[in-house]
Amino acid sequence: MKDWKHLTFEQRKVIANGISHNYKLKDIAETLGFDPTSISKEVKRNRDTITIGKNISNCKRINRWPYVCGYCQKKYNNQCAFTKYKYDASKAQIKADTNLVNSRKGIDIDSKEFDELDKIVKDGIDNKKSIYQIAIENKNDINKSVTTLYRYINNGYLTTKRIDLPYAVKYKKRKHNKKYDYSQNNKVDRTGHTYIDYLAYLHKNPGIYVWQLDFLGSIKTDNNNILSFILPNMQFILLDLIKNPNQEKIVKFFDDLEERIGTNAFIELIPVILTDRDPCFTDIDGICFSKLTGEERCKLFFCDPYVSNQKPNVENINKQLRLYFPKGKTLDTYNKTDIKNINQTLLNRPLRSLDSFTPKDTFINVFDEELYNKLF
């Protein structure tokens, strides 16, 4: 006997043909590879009523196989007072599809389980967690897939609504009146550090780690800004709060990083950096060369102007960071400890792209825990 699965239209045609030729239930079941009980339930569930009889009770022959007026000599006799039934493969398929849809409407849990699920989802969203993270972290308590949770939200079953999900509502189309560029960029020589040079370097060094660097962005009156530094392969991110950012402070960020983990580890971990043309990132030698040894510690490349999708991973991380730092709100109220805590929160999220592992777990598995601890 096969494990149960839904009958197809072709299988239903086999059943209808078997009934019309007065085949035994057992023979039809063996032909299809199903249990005889499954076939009998299918016929009784999806048979079609042809005429309504005057006699309230059903014909005794209907109570046994084939449960329809299949081979009965009286099925075309107008004097038969019983209700007549027929198994039609096309109509049976339509009925089965309708029942399948109806069975999946609503919520298949009791009120106590629903209340617990509703609270878990709401608390997770309030703590800026994704639906995927909520499902993974609470799989033993709610036992629902990510798709099911989204369906419950979209259908309005839960307290959490679509508007509460940060990316479920479409963005309004933005107006771009004028392109901008930094005047300081006019004097920067990026020969050997352009995006085309980056692509050529990747071709010669396939599989090399590439980090993406960017600022989150702040309002004009802010002194603080947040530096996002991400390794896309592992969704691993380093954040830093920088006051009045400039070239010297960006170079110091990398110098401090090298001192914490060591020059050899820096060269292995951060071989390539891809960033935009922000003036704070233009000290190429300061970023690329070690103050400890004088040797080159990494390669630095710049995206083309106005093409942010050349570094999409850090742009996506910045979008996620807006859950913690809403656009238009000041960053001056945060300190480095706040940023470090948010950084740790992001690194401890189970991600679908990492097969439910966290960026922290992935980093430790690829490198080691000692290097992770040195980074923080």
d(CA 282, CA 286): 9
The residue ranges of every structural domain in the chain are 9-103, 111-164, 189-375
Identify the burial level of 263 via C-beta atoms within 10 angstroms of its C-beta, where 0-12 means exposed, 13-18 middle and 19 or more buried: middle
Q: What average pLDDT does range 249-262 have in this prediction?
A: 96
Over 60: is that where the pLDDT of 10 sits?
A: yes
- What is the helix (H) or strand (E) element at residue 274, kind and residue range? strand 272-275
CATH no. of 189-375: 3.30.420.10
Q: Across all residues in the chain, what is the average pLDDT? A: 87
Nearest of 187, 244, 238 to residue 221 by alpha carbon: 244
Band the pLDDT of 338: cuts 50, 70, 90: very high
Q: What is the sign, positive or negative, of the torsion defined by CA atoms of 285, 289, 295, 297?
A: negative
Over 60: is that where the pLDDT of 368 sits?
A: yes
Pairing of strands 224-231, 210-215: antiparallel
Backbone angles phi, psi at 100, to 5 degrees: -65, -45
pLDDT digits 0-9 by tens, 119-141: 999 999 998 888 989 998 888 88
Band the pLDDT of 372: cuts 50, 70, 90: very high
pLDDT digits 0-9 by tens, 294-330: 999 999 999 998 888 899 899 888 888 988 998 889 9
pLDDT digits 0-9 by tens, 136-169: 888 888 888 888 899 889 888 889 988 888 776 6
Look at residue 330 and give its three-state secondary structure: coil
Contacts of 143 (CB under 8 A, 6+ apart): none
Q: What average pLDDT does range 180-204 have in this prediction?
A: 82
| CA angle centred on 191, ends 266 and 297, rounded to 5° | 10
